[in-house]
A and B are shown apart, each in its own frame.
Chain A
Amino acid sequence: MSELLQVQGLTVTLGDRRIVDDVDLAVAAGETVGLVGESGSGKSLTARAIAGLLPPPLLAHGSVRLSGAELVGAREKALRQVRGRRVGLLMQDPFTQLNPLLTAGAHIAESLPRGAGRDRAEIARRLAEVGIDDPQVARRYPFQLSGGMRQRVAIAAALAGDPELLIADEPTTALDATVQHEIMRLLAGIQAARGMSVLLITHDLRVAFALCDRVQVMYAGRVLETGRGRAVAAAPGHPYTAGLIGALPAVERTATRLVSIPGSVPRAADVTDRCAFADRCPQRQDDCLTGRPPLREIAVAHRTACRYPVQPPEPPAVDEQPVAARPPKPSDRPLLLVEGLRKEYGKVTSLDGVDLSIAPGERVALVGESGSGKTTLARCLLGLVEASGGRILLDGTDTTRPRRLSAAQRRTVRTLVQCVFQDPSTSLNPAMTVGAILAEAAGQARPEDRLPVGELLELVGLPPAYSGLRPHRLSGGQKQRVAIARALAVRPALLICDEPTASLDVSVQAHVLELLRRVNNELGTALLFITHDLAMARQITDRTIVLLHGRVVEAGDTETVLDNPTHAYTRRLVASVPPAPTGKTAHA
């Protein structure tokens, strides 16, 4: 058998609850396999179980064989011989996986095999392999390194024992797009040079398709589809995969309609004896709810856990017009005008003279990576922090110094600009019900604009019964919709969206994007869409502004900026977006 890793019937349980359910997986020598899934799919636990590193009290059952040797149930002592030397594990967060008290060099040195020379030259050689040419880095502590550098050091440490298989668990998710791209290229390069096998865990289909020989799609703790990357991308064999691909925004084009998958991921334990995806499936049949569909072969090395062929998505209904921008109202003055805005925190310059203007009803993307100042800009516009210099004019009112505004001006300003924040898990007060949150917000609106809570919920597509729930009962996407409703409660002229979909799963992102497009179209609310994701920007905005180190480096029509970037940084950003799969199911 040529398989290096052979996983059969792997099940992870918490008490008597199944979290990963009967997963088969194989990785051949020198092969890269992608394990793809949204949050809650069980992909990371599968990876941990393979390395024998499940956090207690989780337990693994089934079989994990490495070159024929069984790892499930093996003694800790035996596993320690396997870990590092034969199987390496790279974790997601570069900020937490290195010991804060040890230098980069110490991490590598302690991971080198005992026989090998643990000297400075060897450490420098290992650092060079991960693209760090400065041997001084070995003497630095993790907190002195950037996220990308930390992840490189972690890779060097994980590879120090020269493992045959590297399990990389979302190794770039916490990093900026351009850095993600570099790290992925680095991993691919090392994989090729060493001829080792890689099991890449990712939520990003595009990354999996771009890097992996084979992909395996997981959902609610089980495998729904497996096949060659290219084959799955071109002709997904499972409605879930097809839905995911359809929900992916492309940087190359603007979709007329973004397709989302309704509902949310069930718990694995609740769907053990039926198709896990049935509740959200557009082509569900009666027998989907009885018995679990086995993986069946639909083409060479391409298997799916669906009994039916994937049907092409329904064409958009006749009366459904593509949601376009409402043409900006003719107006003699912009809604928002920012001139030479500066913000310094001590010696750090966060905004270095930013100019910007937004017309009523316009949709503008503000693109930048961490440290670009995009969030600081938003906070200045919202009056949450005070700028150090420059000017902000909101519909003619100077709001640069929020504390100097009169009470009447404050009332005006808050109905001009509102915000949807990034993290849905913290953007709603956990101690208040949805109804109380929305009612409080509506109380801040002009009397003539006040909407009852029910209508606000309806506006974002949630049933009125939700007003009695507390936030922890809602899914991430639902929370974000409530947050949008709260912002809309005062009928703002400008809605700032600070990475509103960054923490959401792909299948849910599309829904939020579509909602924002509708809000713009139907209410005429201008959007300032802050994002690091160019594909997202493409779908929802007309104009794009690129921010780097607190300066605007490029601005223009979204299409022009993304198709023909002029600034070197924008070009790098565009190049770092993995291409969207061009399967027949994707909407164009």
Chain B
Amino acid sequence: MSAATTTRPGVREHGRRPRIAGGRVLTTTALSALALIVLAAILGDWAAPHDPALQNVELGPTGPSATHLLGTDDLGRDVLSRLLAGTRTALVAPVLIALGTTLLGTTLGLLAGYHRGWPDAVLMRLSDLLYALPGLLVLIVLVGVAGGGTTIAVLALIVLNAPSDIRIIRSLALGQRELAYVDAARTLGLPDRRIVFRHLLPNLAPTVTANLLLSFVSALVALTGLSFLGIGLPAGTPDWGLMIQENRTLLDLNPWAAVAPALLIMITAIAATLLGDSIFERLDAGKGVPE
């Protein structure tokens, strides 16, 4: 489990980061990589050179060739086609989780930070509890034992990841709430809803965006991890995580069968992280720091 999944630090050290030389190049690269992957997800089956489920047991595992650009797996299935077929599953659930986590985390965090009182106390105790649980262990057990499919995994990941967002947003909201502009808005008699969503939220936008991307990465890592363990998916599904698991014994015959999905997971995760970071930097700088 990557650090990005359960261990998003409560203290965010954004800001104060050095301007990375060639940051623009990195961002462009990250954006292009993500665009390609999304494109693969959309075209998926159509672009696949072979039927991803078509077996050719006699052929067995072979290295890259003209017909099979990334070779074949144990059952003679085309690795490239399976990768392409797995792209959509790899992206859709993490995107849903990221949206759900950010929506839940931001809303609850804002409300807890702005209103405080008992709802805040309850939320904080709950998130303490969820923090003390090794999140992915819970997920493994939940999906593995209860046998729920993707839906359970998606809901569980939203609940497990939201506390970190809640805490970050809440602490920022608490800080903003002490500022005079919020007092001024309250003195003017503006409704709380307006203060929370029109005044506080725009000031937290950089963090919310960064959280969205980070949640995506952590969900991607968690879900591919789950399928890597062979939990929650029937064998034979074209899935990046499962492909690593099924083909990791073929490293000497056709390493691509396992290395390619591993690389794809890493590239997607890294590109999304870099993009989130760069968006945060841009939005945060745009707000203008008072001199």
Known: A472-B287, A472-B288, A473-B288. Contact between A428 and B189, CB under 8 A?
no
Asked if B289 and A472 make an inter-chain contact with CB atoms under 8 angstroms apart, the answer reads yes
Q: Is B9 an interface residue (CB 8 A)?
A: no
Asked if B187 and A440 make an inter-chain contact with CB atoms under 8 angstroms apart, the answer reads no
Give the distance in Å from the alpha carbon of A418 to the alpha carbon of B184 in the complex.
Answer: 8
CB nearest neighbor in A for B205: A431
Q: Is B180 an interface residue (CB 8 A)?
A: yes
CB nearest neighbor in B for A40: B291
- Chain A, 460-508, CB within 8 A of any chain B CB: 470-473, 483, 486-487, 490
Interface mask (B171-187 → A, CB under 8 Å = 1, otherwise 0): 00000000111011111
Provide the residues of chain B in CB contact with A472, threshold 8 Å. 287-291
Asked if A490 and B287 make an inter-chain contact with CB atoms under 8 angstroms apart, the answer reads no
CB nearest neighbor in B for A429: B181
CB nearest neighbor in A for B202: A431
Taking a contact as CB atoms closer than 8 A, the residue among B181, B190, B291 that contacts A426 in the complex is B181
Asked if B181 and A427 make an inter-chain contact with CB atoms under 8 angstroms apart, the answer reads yes
Taking a contact as CB atoms closer than 8 A, the residue among B179, B184, B199 that contacts A486 in the complex is B184
Known: A423-B180, A425-B290, A472-B290. Contact between A411 and B203, CB under 8 A?
no
- Chain B, 184-213, CB within 8 A of any chain A CB: 184-190, 199, 202-203, 205
B70 CB to closest chain A CB (Å) equals: 48
Taking a contact as CB atoms closer than 8 A, the residue among B186, B190, B289, B290 that contacts A384 in the complex is B186
Q: Is A219 an interface residue (CB 8 A)?
A: no
Taking a contact as CB atoms closer than 8 A, the residue among A379, A425, A444, A470 that contacts B188 in the complex is A444
Asked if A384 and B287 make an inter-chain contact with CB atoms under 8 angstroms apart, the answer reads no
Asked if A421 and B180 make an inter-chain contact with CB atoms under 8 angstroms apart, the answer reads yes
Counting chain B CB atoms within 10 Å of each CB, the highest count among A410, A414, A427, A430 belongs to A430
Number of interface residues of B (CB under 8 A): 20
Asked if B180 and A430 make an inter-chain contact with CB atoms under 8 angstroms apart, the answer reads no
Known: A411-B189, A431-B202, A444-B189. Contact between A419 and B287, CB under 8 A?
no
Asked if B290 and A431 make an inter-chain contact with CB atoms under 8 angstroms apart, the answer reads no
Give the distance in Å from the alpha carbon of A531 to the alpha carbon of B189 in the complex.
Answer: 25
Asked if B188 and A418 make an inter-chain contact with CB atoms under 8 angstroms apart, the answer reads yes
Taking a contact as CB atoms closer than 8 A, the residue among B184, B190, B203 that contacts A430 in the complex is B203
- Chain A, 104-149, CB within 8 A of any chain B CB: none
- Chain B, 233-274, CB within 8 A of any chain A CB: none
Asked if B180 and A431 make an inter-chain contact with CB atoms under 8 angstroms apart, the answer reads no
Provide the residues of chain A in CB contact with B187, threshold 8 Å. 382-384, 414, 417-419, 487
Give the distance in Å from the alpha carbon of A472 to the alpha carbon of B199 in the complex.
Answer: 16
Q: Is A544 an interface residue (CB 8 A)?
A: no
Provide the residues of chain B in CB contact with A431, threshold 8 Å. 199, 202-203, 205, 287
Q: Is A441 an interface residue (CB 8 A)?
A: yes
Asked if A490 and B188 make an inter-chain contact with CB atoms under 8 angstroms apart, the answer reads yes
Give the distance in Å from the alpha carbon of A428 to the alpha carbon of B188 in the complex.
Answer: 13
Provide the residues of chain B in CB contact with A413, threshold 8 Å. 189
Q: Is A509 an interface residue (CB 8 A)?
A: no
Asked if B183 and A421 make an inter-chain contact with CB atoms under 8 angstroms apart, the answer reads yes
B217 CB to closest chain A CB (Å) equals: 27
Q: Is A422 an interface residue (CB 8 A)?
A: yes
Asked if B184 and A483 make an inter-chain contact with CB atoms under 8 angstroms apart, the answer reads yes
Interchain residue pairs with CB less than 8 A apart (7): A384-B186, A419-B183, A427-B184, A429-B185, A471-B290, A472-B290, A487-B184
Q: Which 5 A-B pairs rank lowest in CB-CB distance, beginning with the nearest?
A: A472-B288, A421-B180, A414-B189, A427-B180, A431-B202
- List 4 additional A-B contacts (Cβ < 8 Å) besides A382-B187, A430-B290, A444-B190: A414-B188, A421-B184, A441-B188, A444-B188
